[in-house]
Amino acid sequence: TTPTKESKVDVLIVGAGPAGYMAALWFARLGIKTKIIDKRSTQIFTGQADGLQPRVLEVFETFGFVDRAIKEVAVGYEACFYEPDENGLIRRVDKLPEGVPGISRFNGSVIHQGRIETWLSDAISEFSNGTLNVERPYLPQSLEIEAADAPTPSEYPVKVVLKKLPDDNASPEQFGHKVQNGLYRQFEGDQQNPVPGAESGDDLETVHAKYVLGCDGAHSWVRKQLGIEHKGETTDYVWGVLDIVPVTDFPDIRKRCSIHSKDGGSIMVIPREDGIVRFYIQLREGDHIATVDPAAEPTTTGEKKPATRVDRTKLTAEHILATAQKIMHPYSLEVAEMHWFTAYQIGQRVATAFQKDQRVFIAGDACHTHSPKAGQGMNVSMMDTFNLAWKLAYVVKGLAKPSILATYESERLTVAQDLIAYDLKLSRLFSSKPGEISTDEFRRVIDQGSAFTTGCTVNYQTSLLIDKPAAAEDNVTPYYSPLATKLAIGMRLPDTKLVMQSDARPWYLNQRLPSTGQFRVLVFMGDYAQTPALKAQMEAIGAYLAKPANSLSRLRADGVVQTMLIHASPQASVEWDDFPLVFRPRDERGVMDYWLVMADTPSRHEVTGNAYETYGIEKGVGAVVVVRPDGYVAKVVEPTVEGVRGVWDWLSQFVVGLTPAEV
């Protein structure tokens, strides 16, 4: 059948889960013509992932909706560990802070995935003036990438045929249970179960796209079209998940708890929004876990099949609850409200590549799957497209060379591999019996993993978009420039509180660096009022940036670069007119921008004035710090004309139409 409809888009996103929504958010923000489709007829409303790591909350702040999260989420502050005592009854053996105190302004938080998708979707609507919405239910039928050496290269080299599904065919099977559950994995309309009925050209649409993003989850159709392997194994460990409002005498129910019982298995307790608590419960054979014939289902990748499997059609919330009650004994556990449940088998897999021809990319669960216990799936998935989409936007707008796109795979594949390695360790420990591992070892792994699970320790390596010396490369150790000895190049800019020069209002720096797609050149001019040499350098930089012929001023006009000045002289005793006009620009009406000069000094109202100390920048020397549109520190140079020219040279490697500085 020939499709009757055709459309052209810059980017087609297949799949509207957290990864797809985050990509759409960037594209809406940056004005990229996007189409996003999903095979389900509605978004999800309960269950699934629930953990938000501090780094993702920082990112939400840059898109302007973190306050919605703060109002609604449950926040983790304390973690308890339970072990069997000499009588075999569980008792608390330790109480530790949850996460890493001080690593971020935000603590790890929890709320169900549906709410998070709602915030993302509302923000997309707002940024796109209501023009970008998820189109449902659509299923892709075919994907073709034009050969790189095509005689007449097309501007839209990826062709995807989509099929509109009937609405009632696209609701996930709930296996007849009354309670919403996640026991489905596919439904009528999935590729494995083609929709029955005659096909008409009216149901089909050919989309011509510059780029395609496969954000279509663990069983990614896009990944399969690209022939990318998803390497790893499924283990025999099976876990149940219950989202309930509990009735219990367990004293730590509003804290995160890891409970190892003597014979019943393990539980993880995660307090949630609205009095809900999520329980991750280890299920054993007999708990409706069936032994399967490994030969019964062929494997596509040739890896070992697990020997057991959840019988999804028989398992009920009551079965999972009964196991939980056994593990929690002697404490009671009953249910006032049941919101959602599921069961899953732990498997750890990573895709061997995240793209094909730098035209079709995969992100999120399509690239990496693992157990949900470290609360990482949704977070890492969103951070994948947070990393990729601004780069695509730059290329689509003709602002950057396509060579920057290779940094997506190099940066995010490493994160995925680290995640899988951590999850493997954590899952084994969690699923083991007491005695098989020591409590100390268990807590050590959790402790080591705490920083990683905040999402704040991701360290991108040298590339076109991260400039650190080759000597700094061991792929693990953070690299600090001598000019900013606590600010790691390749890591996200840690937050700090400053005072706005113009009106003395205290601000967190992250609040002043919204995701607008700009590179920020932060000029740390030190205590220029006390240091005449710095004052002269500040004026020279101002004059350099102001030259009309200077490409940096052109870049600022293009919205690629925003320059800001952060000095360390007392805010109240220096004058507004001290600062070069490039940091106090006027718009076409003559109205001045008052928000580009900040002071790192004590405020009379709030605790401020630790930025130079936090970043390891000397107040008598200063530094220039370049921050990427996604908040990662890309480069550090000295605060001189020479230094700023170095930034310009660096940008000219990937910004279209720039040649190295002559001035």
Q: Which residues are catalytic?
A: 50, 272, 280, 372
CB of 224 to ligand FAD, least distance (A): 9
User: Which two three-digit tokens encode residue 419?
Assistant: 């995640």
Give the residue from 15, 243, 16 showing the smallest Cα distance to 110.
Answer: 243
CA distance 56 to 207: 32
Give the Cα separation of 588 and 136 in Å (integer). Answer: 43
**Secondary structure E strands in 408-529:** 479-481, 484-489, 497-500, 506-508, 519-526
Question: If residue 23 lies in a helix (H) or strand (E), which one and from where to where?
Answer: helix 18-30
Q: Which is nearer to ligand FAD, 246 or 580 (CB)?
A: 246
Answer for the pair 117, 319: CB distance below 8 angstroms, yes or no: no
Q: Rule CB under 6 A: choose which of 139, 393, 568, 627 binds ligand FAD.
A: 139
Q: Does 203 bind ligand FAD (CB under 6 A)?
A: no
Distances (CA, A) of 439 to 81, 192, 250, 326, 343: 9, 44, 21, 21, 26
Return the range that interacts with ligand FAD (CB under 6 A); candidates 211-219, 303-311, 461-469, 537-545.
Answer: 211-219
- The rounded distance, in Å, linking the Cα atoms of 278 and 525 is 49
Please check whether residue 147 is in contact with residue 52, taking contact to mean a CB–CB distance below 8 angstroms: no
Please state, in angstroms and as integers, the Cα–Cα distance from residue 598 to each residue in 34, 483, 504, 564, following that order: 36, 19, 9, 8
Give the residue, chosen from 54, 99, 157, 217, that forms a contact with ligand FAD under the rule CB under 6 A.
217
Q: Which stretch binds ligand FAD (CB under 6 A): 361-369, 424-432, 444-452, 554-562?
A: 361-369
- Interface residue with ligand FAD among 26, 81, 221, 654 (CB under 6 A) is 221
Cα separation of 277 and 279, whole Å? 6
Instruction: Please state whether 504 falls in left (phi above 0), alpha (psi between -120 and 50) or beta.
Output: left
Q: Give backbone dihedrals phi and psi of 187, rounded to 5 degrees, phi first.
A: -155, 175
Complex with ligand FAD: residue 369 or 518, whichever CB lies closer = 369
Q: State yes or no: residue 18 binds ligand FAD (CB under 6 A).
A: yes
Residues 43-72 that bind ligand FAD (CB under 6 A): 48-51
Binders in 319-358 for ligand FAD, by CB under 6 A: 342
Taking Cα atoms as reference points, which of 579, 610, 586, 593 lies closest to residue 506? 610
Instruction: Work out how close the CB of 449 gets to ligand FAD at its nearest, in angstroms, rounded to a whole number.
Output: 14
Task: Tell me which stretch binds ligand FAD (CB under 6 A): 15-23, 535-543, 559-567, 629-637.
Answer: 15-23
276 contacts ligand FAD (rule: CB under 6 A): no
Smaller CB distance to ligand FAD: residue 369 or 640? Answer: 369
DSSP of 243-284: EEEEEE--TTTTSEEEEE-SSS-EEEEEE-GGG-EEEEEEE-
Q: Going residue by residue from 99 to 128, which x/- string records binding to ligand FAD, judged by CB under 6 A?
A: --------------x---------------
Smallest distance from the beta carbon of 67 to ligand FAD, in angstroms? Answer: 23
Does 225 sit near ligand FAD (CB under 6 A)?
Answer: no
Q: In the set 58, 216, 527, 600, which binds ligand FAD (CB under 6 A)? A: 216
For residue 162 the two structure tokens come to: 């989509």
**Helix ranges (DSSP H) in 165-250:** 221-226
Minimum distance, C-beta of residue 19 to ligand FAD, in the bound complex (Å): 3
CB of 595 to ligand FAD, least distance (A): 35
CA-to-CA separations, 319 to 151, 227, 276, 315, 595, in angstroms, rounded: 62, 39, 19, 7, 58
Window contacting ligand FAD (CB under 6 A); options: 31-39, 79-87, 286-294, 350-358:
31-39
Distant-in-sequence, close-in-space partners of 284: CB < 8 Å, separation ≥ 6? 265, 323
Beta-carbon contacts of 637 under 8 Å, excluding residues fewer than 6 positions away, are: 483, 623, 624, 626, 643, 644, 646, 647
Half-sphere exposure (Cβ direction) of 159: Cα atoms closer than 13 Å: 10
Could you tell me how many residues of this chain bind ligand FAD (CB under 6 A)?
33
Distance CA 232, CA 416 (A): 12
Nearer to ligand FAD, 112 or 567 (CB): 112
Cβ proximity to ligand FAD: between 40 and 309 the closer is 40
Instruction: Assess contact for 26 and 385: CB atoms under 8 A.
Output: yes
Residue from 29, 35, 39, 520 binding ligand FAD (CB under 6 A): 39
Q: Which of 12, 16, 32, 73 touches ligand FAD by CB under 6 A?
A: 16
Comparing CB distances to ligand FAD, the nearer of 215 and 491 is 215
Of 19, 120, 419, 498, which one interacts with ligand FAD (CB under 6 A)? 19
Radius of gyration of the chain (CA): 27
Buried b or exposed e, range 510-542, using 16+ CB within 10 angstroms: bebbebebbbbbbbbbbbbbebeebbebbebbb
Q: Does residue 238 bind ligand FAD (CB under 6 A)?
A: no
Q: Where are the alpha helices (DSSP H) in 470-629?
A: 532-546, 551-558, 611-615
Residues 391-450 binding ligand FAD (CB under 6 A) are: none
Q: Which of 205, 287, 365, 423 binds ligand FAD (CB under 6 A)?
A: 365
The region of 11-19, 230-238, 567-575, 609-617 touching ligand FAD under the rule CB under 6 A is 11-19
140 binds ligand FAD (CB under 6 A): yes
517 touches 619 (CB < 8 A): no
Applying CB under 6 A, the span of 90-98, 210-218, 541-549, 567-575 interacting with ligand FAD comes to 210-218
Among 54, 76, 375, 631, binds ligand FAD (CB under 6 A): 375
- Binding segment for ligand FAD among 9-17, 254-262, 605-613, 624-632 (CB under 6 A)? 9-17
Find the part of the chain contacting ligand FAD (CB under 6 A) among 18-26, 392-400, 456-464, 569-577: 18-26
Q: Which of residues 364, 494, 629, 639 is near ligand FAD by CB under 6 A?
A: 364
**38 counts as binding ligand FAD under rule CB under 6 A:** yes
Q: How far is the CB of 20 from ligand FAD (least distance, A)?
A: 5
Give SS3 for 339: strand
Residues of this chain, 539-558, that bind ligand FAD according to CB under 6 A: none
Binding interface with ligand FAD (CB under 6 A): 14-20, 37-40, 48-51, 113, 139-140, 182, 215-217, 221, 241, 342, 364-366, 372, 375, 377-378, 381
